[in-house]
Amino acid sequence: MTQTVSLGSVSLKVEGMTCGSCVQSIEQRIGSQPGVIHLKVSLEERSATVIFDLSQQSPESLSGAIEDMGFESSVPNGSTAT
């Protein structure tokens, strides 16, 4: 039996990170959300690139989860790809 999962990837803008520990806490917290397959947070580019399961997460829900942590996050226009 095979299970098909639709994956999506998005680069979210993240403002308010200033050091490695901010990056780490985002990676830990967002990385443990259901449906998040892979996560790369860049301090220099102020972005978080996420590969996720489309049935469990959306760019908006991921951005919301980052905002919930106290950082500012936004979904860049037209960056949602499958």
Binding positions for other proteins, rule: CB under 8 A: 16-19, 21-22, 25-26, 28-29, 68-71
Nearer to other proteins, 8 or 63 (CB): 63
Nearer to other proteins, 5 or 68 (CB): 68
Nearer to other proteins, 64 or 76 (CB): 64
Smallest gap from Cβ 67 to other proteins, in A, equals 8
Dist. CA 1–CA 72, nearest whole Å: 41
Helix axes 20-31, 59-68, angle to 10 degrees: 130
* Phi and psi, residue 36, nearest 5°: -90, 120
User: Which region, left, alpha or beta, applies to residue 51 given φ > 0 means left and ψ of -120 to 50 means alpha?
Assistant: beta
Smallest gap from Cβ 41 to other proteins, in A, equals 12
How many other C-beta atoms can be found within 10 angstroms of the C-beta atom of residue 12?
Answer: 23
Smallest gap from Cβ 64 to other proteins, in A, equals 12
